[in-house]
Amino acid sequence: MEKKPFDQLGLSPDILKAVEKMGFEEASPIQTAVIPVALTGKDVIGMSSTGSGKTAAFAIPAIERADPKTRAVQVLILCPTRELAVQVAEETGKLAFFKRGIAGVPIYGGQSYERQFRALHQGVQIVIGTPGRVMDHMERGTLKLDALKIIILDEADRMLDMGFREDIEKILTSVPETRQMLFFSATMPRAIQDLIGRYAKDPAWIKIESVAQNRPQVEQTYFEVDRRSKIEALTRLIDVNDFRYGIIFCSTKIMVDELDEHLHARGYATDRLHGDISQSQRDRVMAKFRERKFEFLVATDVAARGLDVDDLEVVFNFDLPNDAEDYTHRIGRTGRAGRTGQAFTFVSGQEIYKLQSMVRWARLDIRRGRIPSLDEVEEARTNVFFEKIRATLEEKRFRPHDHMIDRLLDQGYASTDICSALIHLLQGGAPGLSAATAPAAAPAPAPVAPPPAAPRAGAKAAPAWVKPRLAAKAHDDGAAPAADVAGSASEEGLAGDEPVVRTRTGREPGKATLFFNVGRKELVTPADLVGKIAGVTRLPAGVVGAIDIHQRHALVDVDEHEADFILKKLAGIRLKGVTLAPARATDGGPR
Ligand code: AMP
């Protein structure tokens, strides 16, 4: 379906200004096909439904052909309902905005005759109305059509269904023979073909399939997100929905590369497709994607065109597509084979207007969504895990280990504790490292931590440089903290999405202390932190010094001169399901 820029359709500067003001970037297929033909004065039969841009397809040539110097009615647009008449009148008014001297009026049943008389009396070139009311005015002599140049039937099939056939025929026989007819109908039943056969003169037939008709079964949601928060929003949506197979569309190659790298660094299995990637490489990526060897394909529209994959769970419009047609193509890749798919679209700032225009144009059924909070992401992760356990139990997909369980029960452990311990192990918890303070495991060097201030229950040591205020919370792993490090600690601020920088004193010289928003709650170990820092920054593990893991956060000493680099690189990276938001720990307490 060909689409052209409006300035290639032979239009006046006034109309070009109007379409630009309306935010139309290019002509739709029906507009591209109809406008140049209609401008020549030829009759046109347009087969296309609402949502294709047909109103502008007939209104633009009508406005162009109307003579502003003559006040007589030159264009008559017949619509089946008053709602449609009002809508068409509005759109025509906007398109004629810069055309000096061109005026129009809608006339429909239910509105007072007085107002319509007045408008008609003042002289308008364009009348938009329902057949019944138009007939009324013609019979009263308040609507004269002797100067009529163009008659337009919008949604002709609906007008016949509504019983307007007689009125339409009367109108058609009483307008000048020389008039041009633009005839729009979504369907072509016999009665319509008869009408065309009798009243159209050698018409051009133009048939365009509406994007709306091809709409797949897809649940569509949009999210208003700040440009800088898009990656965070994306990963949260993936995690909350536990998506495993989808395409993420970006508008540029650079964005594809960047996003692919970001997602990769955050632990998602991704690959990319765009125009700069060789054909053989593309084929390899596609083959891998079809075999589900990775989860998310990051791609541009061009690269993804003709891409033959079924069963996608989700399509993300990380960047808003150019128009409704691209949008429909993109989302059509999910929701195939009769299943409902998901399409998530991000809009930033002014893009909301573009989306609104696409929604109107293609009659998109899209609702607004909310980005899940970190707590919701956490809860979803737990639910996924819970579901896995439940399914394993339901389907009895496990070998009995009664003997071992019985032994543990015999030793007096409660069954709930046994299960909790198993879950802990399953989630990667290392029993020896889950305490508040643990040295960074290999490959980090032994931390140079100040000597412990006091022994704690459980034979773990609380470091002297943890202020008492923090220490109590830092040791809330069930064991009562020793009196001299315990305080009335609170964890205010740590639970929310905003990181709170915690105080740390007595750090080694030449080191900076960084705050990380993961902790024992996520079962993070010093090895995880060192591994992540070294892996993402490619710095030697030796830049990391003492690590102090608390219930919901961790304090990590790093070489001062690498601190900013580490902060920058680690921001937004995922660790244990948490998106890191590291910050410098200040000595002045929470910021
Ligand atoms: P219609 O099919 O005429 O009912 O048009 C549906 C919606 O699409 C209306 O809100 C129009 O303003 C909008 N529209 C029409 N043409 C274009 C275009 N070329 N680009 C963007 N939006 C358009």
Nearest CA to ligand 1 atom 8: 361
CA diameter of the chain? 104
Least confident of 22-36, 56-70, 215-229: 215-229
E strand segments, 276-327: 296-299, 314-317
Residues with CB under 6 A from ligand 1: 24, 27-28, 31, 50-56, 91, 357, 360-361
Which of 20, 25, 55 to mutate for ligand 1's pocket (most ligand atoms within 8 Å of CB)? Answer: 55
CA of 145 to the centre of ligand 1 (A): 29
The whole-number pLDDT of residue 339 equals: 63
Beta bridge partners of 516: 554
Mean pLDDT of 46-52: 77
Q: How far apart are CA 579 and CA 571, in angstroms?
A: 8
CA of 360 to the centre of ligand 1 (A): 7
Least confident of 266-280, 324-338, 394-408: 324-338
End-to-end CA, the chain:
57
Q: Is the pLDDT of residue 589 over 80?
A: no
* Same fold across 6-207 and 218-374: yes
Q: SS3 for 11?
A: coil
CA of 354 to the centre of ligand 1 (A): 11
Of 261, 273, 268, give the one whose Cα is nearest residue 238: 268
CA of 359 to the centre of ligand 1 (A): 9
**Residue 356: Cβ within 10 Å count:** 13
CA of 361 to the centre of ligand 1 (A): 5
List pLDDT tens digits, range 432-448.
222 222 333 333 332 32
Mean pLDDT of 92-112: 91
Mean pLDDT of 29-52: 90
Question: Exposure of 302 by Cβ count < 10 A (0-12 exposed, 13-18 middle, 19+ buried)?
Answer: exposed
Mean pLDDT of 577-582: 89
User: What CATH fold (topology level) applies to the domain 469-591?
Assistant: Alpha-Beta Plaits (3.30.70)
Nearest CA to ligand 1 atom 16: 53
The whole-number pLDDT of residue 172 equals: 96
Tokens encoding 292: 């589900």
CA of 574 to the centre of ligand 1 (A): 42
The whole-number pLDDT of residue 384 equals: 76
CA of 53 to the centre of ligand 1 (A): 4
Average pLDDT along the chain? 79
Q: Is the pLDDT of residue 428 over 80?
A: no
Nearest CA to ligand 1 atom 13: 361
Nearest CA to ligand 1 atom 22: 24
Beta bridge partners of 343: 220, 315
Q: Is the pLDDT of residue 497 over 70?
A: no
The answer as to CATH 3.40.50.1100 being correct for domain 218-374 is: no
The whole-number pLDDT of residue 445 equals: 30
The whole-number pLDDT of residue 301 equals: 80
Kindly state the DSSP code that residue 68 receives in the 8-state scheme.
T
Phi, psi angle pair for 139, to nearest 5°: -65, -35
Q: How far apart are CA 450 and CA 236, in angstroms?
A: 38
Nearest CA to ligand 1 atom 5: 53
Which band of pLDDT confidence, cut at 50, 70 and 90, is reported for residue 526? confident
Q: SS3 for 300?
A: coil
The whole-number pLDDT of residue 145 equals: 95
Residues 182, 150 contacting (CB under 8 angstroms): yes
CA of 52 to the centre of ligand 1 (A): 7
CA of 317 to the centre of ligand 1 (A): 21
List pLDDT tens digits, range 152-171.
999 998 899 888 999 999 99
Which of 49, 360, 364 to mutate for ligand 1's pocket (most ligand atoms within 8 Å of CB)? Answer: 360
CA of 57 to the centre of ligand 1 (A): 9
Give the CA angle between residues 537, 540, 544 to the nearest 5°: 85
Q: Which atom of ligand 1 is nearest to the CA of 51?
A: 2
* CATH tag, 6-207: 3.40.50.300
Q: Is the pLDDT of residue 246 over 90?
A: yes
Which of 357, 358, 359 to mutate for ligand 1's pocket (most ligand atoms within 8 Å of CB)? Answer: 357
Place of tokens 């150019």: 322
Q: Which atom of ligand 1 is nearest to the CA of 26?
A: 19
CA of 31 to the centre of ligand 1 (A): 10
CA of 114 to the centre of ligand 1 (A): 32
Which of 356, 361, 364 to mutate for ligand 1's pocket (most ligand atoms within 8 Å of CB)? Answer: 361
Nearest CA to ligand 1 atom 20: 24
List pLDDT tens digits, range 110-133.
778 888 888 888 899 999 999 999
Nearest CA to ligand 1 atom 7: 361
Q: Is the pLDDT of residue 486 over 70?
A: no
Mean pLDDT of 212-225: 76
Domain residue extents for the chain:
6-207, 218-374, 469-591
Beta bridge partners of 47: 185, 207
Nearest CA to ligand 1 atom 21: 24
Residue 509 half-sphere exposure, CB side, CA atoms within 13 Å? Answer: 0
Q: How far apart are CA 501 and CA 61, in angstroms?
A: 64
Mean pLDDT of 303-314: 75
Which band of pLDDT confidence, cut at 50, 70 and 90, is reported for residue 26? confident
Nearest CA to ligand 1 atom 1: 53
Stronger pLDDT, 428 or 93, i.e. the higher one: 93
Mean pLDDT of 387-392: 81
The whole-number pLDDT of residue 81 equals: 87
